[in-house]
Chains A and B, each alone.
Chain A
Amino acid sequence: MAEVSRRVRAGGGSVIGGRLMLAIDPRALERLAAGQVVALVTGTNGKTTTTRLLTAAMSTQGPVTTNAAGANLVSGLVSALARHTPGAAAVLEVDEGLLRQAIAAAHPAVVLLLNLSRDQLDRTGEVRMHAERWRAALDGSQATHVVANVDDPLVTWAARASARVTWVGTGQRWRLDAASCPECGARILWGSPPADGWACSVCDLRRPDADVWLDDHTLVFADGLRLDIRLALPGWANRANAAMAAAGAVAAGADAEASVRAMADVADVAGRYQVVAVGGGVRARLLLAKNPAGWAEALDLLRPAPLPVVVGINARIQDGRDPSWLWDVPFERLRGRFVVATGERGRDLAVRLHYAEVEHEFVADELDAIRRAAATAPHGYGGAEVDVAANYSSFQQIRKAVGSGESREGQTGAA
């Protein structure tokens, strides 16, 4: 079946096979997951990376099956499990809108709830609806160990109904989507950042004490264990992903220290942070960001001024058709450097940069945009390697244009 799928070019082998199996057996996910130790990873941001980190951590225990291509709809889960070797655990990324379905079919031992923020609003509806569905899916479950980000009130509220929870303090800074209490609608009060707690101003919903938390580059366990988090992946967001993955691995029975060590070498996750050649001696380092919370983190990862930057924006179905969110991203941080705006909605970005008073230019073609940026690098900075930050389909388009990675056209919803 994988062979059939590989011949049908669109799916890169991972989705079409699953679709065929589901057509033959609608309960394929349940059948394939039966008797396996399954860990599910979901949330708005960090799913693919955390799945990769958790896979590395759990591999210290034995073989692990995973949907590494990020194919996170039911068809992707089915084809991942179909490749399963006997005795292997399964670590699966699942779309935040499909968690309930995935839990009902796969009876996971562990579920990681990363975060919930605005994303692709015209497609998926309201952020709070996800929290409600998660809560319903986890309500009263005795068999599933939930690992939840305690600095996200929506995640905390969703996880509160479950019997077994490991609360992880990630130090998440994004608060725009949790202004009002998911329990009662009143205002949420926040302490000072980072992670000084939060509580509803009326009802009893508040930040539970963390069992595991991130203290800069150290992962601290409530029992006193302290482990350095050293990752090949850059930035706070990836350390937060690693904290969640470490707690998930421990919940699945892995050793904490071995898990953290195993995550250190994960470097390139489905093309993120990958350096690609674009011709003319120019290379591009690719960064993916899909929504305002993700962009706020990505801008922190860019190499500093005066190096030029390329920003690519599309608004296809999988990106969300409405790029209004560009105005929630602090592009003002790019002041003092030259930005080349590209992608199918590069003109929306150009207007955003105009109002942010960031020097910029619009170049429609992505590779021309990268070469244009390289040509503007100041003397002494070489300009041979340009940071390129792009949203989902723009990122995939650039990878495809430079012949890196599989095309994931047609896999709407995978992210």
Chain B
Amino acid sequence: MPRDAVTIVLLYPELLGTYGDGGNALVLAQRLRWRERPADIVEVTAGEPVPESGQLYLMGGGEDGPQALAARELIASRALHRALDGGAALLAVCAGFQVVGHEFVGPEGEPHAGLGLLDCVTRRDSGARRVGEVVAEPDPSLGLPPLTGYENHQSVTALGPGVRPLGRVVVGAGNDTGDRSEGALAGRVVGTYLHGPVLARNPGLADHLLASVVGDLEPLDDVEAEALRKERLAAARRERK
């Protein structure tokens, strides 16, 4: 019997897609299709209703103005809140990560209300923009090899007791609030500053997200991703240490 297609909802790619973030949706969809499971990518642009029946939701990086616009739409509709209550998973990257916390930095530098889906708060500090390769040791519960990605953000994010760090920074800045944390993890919700896109560089994290909504998955041939990971992990240690 054919399985129902898994719906991957890419939220506001025109607002939150600065760092090739649409790539995360493609990686998830292809990794399902290559395992003979149909997958659909639904792109939702600003002003359109957010479907609540998706299994995976994705948000990416963006500039300050578009970031605030995305937050206003999602707070007004609460569609994403309901989808996650219904068991969906979320990957929120960079500006998207900031938006799903309690508070982030608005276009004029003012505190702006976030979605409150992750227990964290983002503020601007006087430090230089955090730019470069990152290596992080993922939370042991994930059972994954080191995370590799590229960060580029001005603000810093403090985690509350309701989340765990996605990883501990080995190279780079990450959340940069003094605890070496990178990103946040709470159930099926993952926030991170890593792009690359993060799921292209970390196929294990992609499969973790997929498994959280469709169950166990057989392995795929990731020989090219492995070659890229090896190169990037070495480059990160060389460039930022």
Contact = CB atoms under 8 A, between A and B. Distances in A.
A328 B14 CA distance: 11
A122 B131 contact: yes
A121 B150 CA distance: 12
B14 A175 contact: yes
Interface string A316-348: 000001101111100000000000000000011
A187 interface: yes
A128 interface: yes
Given A180-B66, A355-B27, A324 B19 contact: yes
Interface stretch (B114-122, B157-165, B177-185, B223-231): B223-231
A238 interface: no
Q: Among the interface residues B27, B63, B197, B231, which one has the most CB atoms of the partner chain A within 10 A?
A: B63
B202 to A, nearest CB: 11
B18 interface: yes
Nearest to B225: A351
A223 B16 CA distance: 42
Contact of A121 (B19, B45, B47): B19
Given A122-B131, A322-B150, A351-B228, A187 B47 contact: yes
Q: Among the interface residues A128, A347, A362, which one has the most CB atoms of the partner chain B within 10 A?
A: A347
Contacts of A185: 65, 68-69, 107
Nearest to B152: A122
Interface in B3-26: 12-15, 17-23, 26
Contacts of A285: none
A357 B18 CA distance: 23
A185 B69 CA distance: 7
Contact of A128 (B21, B63, B195, B196): B63
A6 to B, nearest CB: 34
Contact of A180 (B15, B17, B21, B23): B15
B77 interface: no
Nearest to A322: B150
A127 B63 contact: yes
Interface residues of A, number: 32
A350 B19 contact: no
B44 interface: no
Interface in B94-133: 107, 131-132
Contacts of B30: 355, 357
A355 B46 contact: no
Interface string B20-56: 1111001100100000000000000111000000000
B14 A327 contact: no
Nearest to B66: A180
Nearest to B45: A179
A182 B69 CA distance: 12
A350 B201 CA distance: 12
B38 to A, nearest CB: 16
Contacts of A176: 13-14, 17
Interface in A34-88: none
Interface in B186-209: 195-197, 200-201
Contacts of A372: none
Nearest to A328: B20
Contacts of B65: 128, 180, 182, 185
B228 A327 contact: no
A133 interface: no
B26 to A, nearest CB: 5
A325 B20 contact: yes
Contacts of B195: 322, 324
Contact of A350 (B12, B132, B224): B224
Contacts of A180: 15, 46, 65-66, 69
B20 A324 contact: yes
A122 B172 CA distance: 15
A128 B195 CA distance: 21
A179 B231 CA distance: 35
Nearest to A128: B63
Nearest to A175: B14
A408 B155 CA distance: 35
A343 B200 CA distance: 19
Contacts of B15: 179-180
Given A176-B17, A321-B131, A327 B22 contact: yes
A121 B94 CA distance: 14
Interface in A163-212: 175-176, 179-180, 182, 185-187, 201
A201 B69 CA distance: 13
Contacts of A347: 224, 227-228, 231
A121 to B, nearest CB: 6
A409 interface: no
A176 B68 CA distance: 17
Q: Among the interface residues A118, A176, A182, A187, which one has the most CB atoms of the partner chain B within 10 A?
A: A187
For the complex of A and B, the 8 pairs showing the least CB-CB separation, nearest first, are A327-B23, A327-B20, A179-B14, A324-B20, A324-B19, A347-B228, A322-B150, A126-B63
Given A126-B63, A186-B69, A322-B152, 19 more contacts: A121-B18, A122-B150, A176-B14, A179-B45, A179-B66, A180-B15, A187-B46, A322-B150, A322-B196, A324-B197, A325-B19, A327-B26, A327-B197, A348-B196, A351-B200, A355-B27, A357-B30, A362-B224, A362-B227
24 contacts: A118-B18, A121-B18, A121-B19, A121-B152, A122-B132, A122-B150, A122-B152, A127-B63, A128-B65, A180-B15, A187-B69, A322-B19, A322-B152, A324-B20, A324-B21, A324-B197, A327-B21, A327-B197, A347-B224, A350-B227, A351-B201, A351-B228, A355-B23, A362-B227
Interface of A: 118, 121-122, 126-128, 175-176, 179-180, 182, 185-187, 201, 321-322, 324-328, 347-348, 350-352, 354-357, 362
